[in-house]
Structures are given as C-alpha cells and as structure tokens.
Amino acid sequence: MENNTQILFVMIGYLLLLILWGLYQGRKVKTNSDYAIAGRNLPGWIAALSERATGESSWALLGLPGLAYASGLTGMWTALGCVVGIIVCWLAIALKLRDEAEKYDVNTFVGYIAKKHSASERSIRTVASLTIVFFFFFYIGAQFLGGGKILHAMFHINPRLGMLITAIIIIPYTIYGGFRSVVYTDAVQAIVMITALVAGPIFGIIAVSSNPDIFAQSIPMAISKAGINYSSMTGAASGFAAGIVIMGGLSWFFGYLGGQPQLSMRFMAIKNPRQAKQGCAVGIIWTILAYMGALSIGWLGICFFGPTGLEDQEYVMPAVMLKIFPPAIAAVLITGAIAAMISTADSLLILSSTELSENIIKPALKSRGKTDIKGLLHSRIATAILAAIALAAAYLSPTHLIYTLVGYVWAGIGGTFSIVILFTLFWKRFHGRAVIVTIIAGMLFTIIWISTGMEKMITSRVMTFVVAGAVAVITTYALPKKEPTVRS
C-alpha cells in the first residue's frame, strides 16, 4: 500500500506538469497551420522524440517486455522487424516526405497524398480521411481502455473511471494546443520512456547477479532454466511452423514504411533538411536502445519471477522496476508506461481531428475568405467532438472488438498506406485513381483476412502489404490516369 501511495503521488505530479506543459505550448498556436502541423517548424530532435514516443505507445514498456517474458528469445524476431522498419523509414522516407510536405504546402498526411495526385484530389481526401478517422476512433478508444486497465491494476480504480481519468488528462491540452502541444509533451514522455528502458536493464542485471533467492542470477541462466520454448529462437517450432514464427515477428517491418499517419506527420513537420538529419540520428539511437532495453526487462522478469510467476505478462515492467528500485524512483519509471499510452492517444486524436477538419469539414463548408482564426476554431471543435466519440466508443464497445479493430488499424492502415506513400514518393507513374482503389482494396482485404481466421496462417501485416502493392501496380497500368481539371 505504501508503494502504491508513493507511485500515485509521483504519477499525479508528473501528469499535472505534463498538462501544464501542453497548455503552455498551446499558447504559441496562432494559426491553423500551427495547430495541424506546428507550422512545419519543429526541431529535428523534438520531432524524433515525439515520433518514437507515439510509435512505441505502451508497446515498448508493456507489450514487448511482456512478449519477451512469455516467449524468451522468440521475441527478438518482433524486435528486429520493428527496429529495421524504423531505421529504413528514417533513412529512406523521412527527409523526402518532409521536403514534399514543404513543396506542396500541406498540413495533413492525406492532404499531401491528395495534392500530389491533384486530378483526384477531392475523392482522395474523402476516402482516405474517412478511412483513417473511422478506424482511429477505435484506436483512440483502445488507448483510453489501456489507461483504465493500468490504473485499475495499480490502484484498484474502477476501469471505467480510469478511462475517464485518462481522457481528462489528454483532452484539454490537445484541444487547446493541437499538434504543437502534442509533440512537445510527447518529447518529454520519450525521455521518461528511454530512461526507464536504459536504467532498468543496467541496474536489473546488477540486482539479479547478487540475489541467490530468485529464479536465476543472469539472463542467459534464466532463459536456459525456463526451457526449450524460451531458449529456442523459434519457440521450439521447426520447419514450416518455425517459418511462421519468424515471419510473424519480422512482419512488423511493413507497418513502419510511412503508412502510419501519426508517425509520418512528425517527418512532415520538421523545420528543414538539416534538422531532419538530426532527427534521423536521434530516432535511430533511441530505437536501438529502447528495443534492447524492452527485451532485457522482459528477460529480467524471468530472472526474478520465473516463467510462470506473473499472472499478467504485460505487467512485467512495473514488477521488475519495483524489484530493482526504491518505490519513489520506480514510480517515476513506471509512469513511463502511462506516458507511452498518453503519447499515442493524443497523437491519434489530433491527427484524426485535423484530417476531418482539413479534408472533410472545410471543403464541405466551402469557407472561402474566412479567417484562419475561424479555421482554428473549426479544428478545435472537431478535436473535442472526436474525443467525446472515442471515449463513448471505449465505453460502449466490447473490449475484444476494440482490440480487434486495433489489429485492423496496424495491418490495414499501416500496410495499405505504406504502399500509397512509397509509390507516391518514388513512382512517378502512380496516379490518383490507383490511390483510391488501393486504399479501399487494402482495408477490405485486411478485414476479410482477419475475420475469416486466415491471420493464423499468415499475418495480415504481410499479406495486406503484398495485396495492396499488387492492386496499386495493376490499377496504375489498367486505369487511365485522370487529367487535372483546368480552371479558367
């Protein structure tokens, strides 16, 4: 109880400072461009920290350590797929996407795709924006659910109340400061996250080496004692089954190739090419350290608790931190798990609202000649409405539905839009009609593939990327390119 009290006070203090920091950054938002994309004026290191905090979510602090705790060395394939995908994205896509956003003077992810394929601009804005906004409703709802789950497990707060508390934390500064507030709060959270992921393994290895009363005194000893399922790189599977295990882990690579709008927006907002190179270095170093740390924390969990010592594998990180550090220090590091969840929820919320405002609401209102302040007001209203809908979705939808749809988002949005972005950036022949068909085909295929159980054979993270790519190539050649309308 004493530990929980210390953790609670530290967490409250941290979150209050986070809200105040977000509101302070919001004071600098004067135009709709500031609200939607921080005026495309972000320092590279800020953009990189925000992109990494958003991209990892609670995955790096809860999900991946839990996977390493439950599966041993097999988790390395997932980590490898993610790390390679992130590195390739920063090296091959980030700088070019930043330059393209500046060239076409766009404020949103869909806005860039639409302007690049201007002959089909209106249709692309409608189809792509509605697709992203609809699925991100549930993705945001899942973050609220995650916050409720963590608060319930740690403080026995009713999960529904925990969801409301989570929403209250992020909604005010997100509505007020938009993308700018979100990015700068994300940067703080990325620092907390990486501190936990670096300090935890260092002090954890020291702690287990001198403790004879635990399952094992080193990570290699723990993995060996846990059995063949932990010490094998394929979970003791062989042949075709081993290939499925490896493919399933490496398949995370495809979701990082520019197709996650909440990540690509960070690239688009970087101030200049020099800052983009700085961001690339920061993003890659952060990623390598974070994934090494996340795996190590999971394996340290085996050292402390044995392979069956925890009821919920995803709480291995908080459990390990409380074993290693005094409660007050552990509280700061555990807060990183909350920070990770918040960094994704606020990013998804602001991305959804700006896509809706810029690509659906404004064209529908045909607000020619209206001031940018009114445009800013529209964006803030859209953010508030979407936040309320996402919270309602989290309350009303069954938990399994929420997380199933999150699976659809990573495969469908990530795999489909990765193809769209890659071809838009690097293939001049790719055109607007092919974009529309690719988006529709990729999302429908993902839903059908997962809902029919084919996911158990080959993951949709691979199949959606392959199918969307094939559709994009075929329709590019099969459909005539629509010529831009000449306005008199």
Residues 299-342 have pLDDT tens digits of 999 999 999 999 888 889 989 998 999 888 888 888 777 777 77
What's the pLDDT score for residue 376? 79
CB 134 within 8 A of CB 391: no
- Sign of CA pseudo-dihedral 17, 21, 27, 30: negative
More confident residue, 341 or 124: 124
Query: Could you tell me the maximum CA-CA distance found in the chain, to the nearest angstrom?
Result: 82
Q: Which residues, including other chains, have CB under 8 Å from residue 180's CB and lie 6 or more apart?
A: 25, 26, 28, 29, 34, 35, 38, 39
Could you identify the residue written with the tokens 């520019």? 258
**Has residue 68 got a pLDDT over 90?**
yes
191-245: pLDDT as tens digits: 989 999 999 999 999 999 989 999 999 999 999 999 999 999 988 778 888 888 8
User: What is the four-CA torsion angle of 132, 135, 137, 141, rounded to 10 degrees?
Assistant: -140
Average pLDDT estimate for 84-93: 96
Eight-class DSSP state of 60: I
Give the best-scoring range by mean pLDDT among 46-50, 176-180, 445-449: 46-50
The percent of residues in the chain predicted with pLDDT above 70, rounded, is 93
Q: Tokens 């839990």 map to which residue? A: 66
Measuring CA to CA, which residue among 360, 414, 323 is closest to residue 139?
A: 414
Task: Give pLDDT tens digits for 177-202.
Answer: 999 999 999 999 899 899 999 999 99
Q: Rg for the chain (alpha carbons), in Å?
A: 22
pLDDT on residue 469: 97
Tell me the percentage of the chain whose pLDDT exceeds 90.
52
- Per the model's pLDDT, the better-predicted residue between 150 and 29 turns out to be 29
Q: What is the pLDDT of residues 382-392, one digit of tens each?
A: 888 888 888 88
pLDDT digits (tens, 9 = 90+) for 252-288: 898 899 999 999 999 999 999 999 999 999 999 999 9
Extract the tokens encoding 405.
Answer: 């749809």
398 vs 280 pLDDT, higher one: 280
Q: Is the pLDDT of residue 30 over 50?
A: yes
- Residue 162 pLDDT exceeds 90: no
* Residue 42 phi, psi (nearest 5): -80, 140
> Domains in the chain, ordered, with CATH?
2-118+139-397 (1.20.1730.10)
User: In this predicted structure, what is the pLDDT of residue 170?
Assistant: 84
pLDDT surpasses 50 at 488: no
Mean pLDDT computed over 406-424: 88
412-448 burial code (b ≥16 CB/10 A, e <16): bbbbbbbbbbbbbbeeeebbbbbbbbbbebbbebbbe
| Per-residue confidence (pLDDT) for residue 487, from 0 to 100 | 47
Q: What is the mean pLDDT of residues 95-112?
A: 94
pLDDT at res. 364? 74
Give me the pLDDT at residue 57, please: 73
CA–CA gap between residue 382 and residue 388 (Å, rounded)? 10
Q: What is the pLDDT of residue 31?
A: 86
Tell me the two tokens of residue 266. Answer: 């960070």
* 31-58 mean pLDDT: 91
The predicted pLDDT at position 71 comes to 92
22 half-sphere exposure, CB direction, 13 A CA radius = 28
**What's the mean pLDDT when you consider all of the chain?**
88
Q: Is pLDDT at 114 greater than 90 in this prediction?
A: yes
pTM of the model: 0.90
More confident position, 125 or 408: 125
Quick one: average pLDDT of 154-181? 86
- The closest alpha carbon to 38, from 211, 266, 369, belongs to 266
pLDDT over 70 at 370, yes or no: no
Beta bridge pairs of residue 42: 270
Region for 227 from its dihedrals, namely left if φ exceeds 0, alpha if ψ lies in -120 to 50, beta otherwise? left
Alpha helices in 105-158 (DSSP H): 109-116, 121-155
For residue 98, is pLDDT > 90?
Answer: yes
CB atoms within 10 A of CB 262: 26
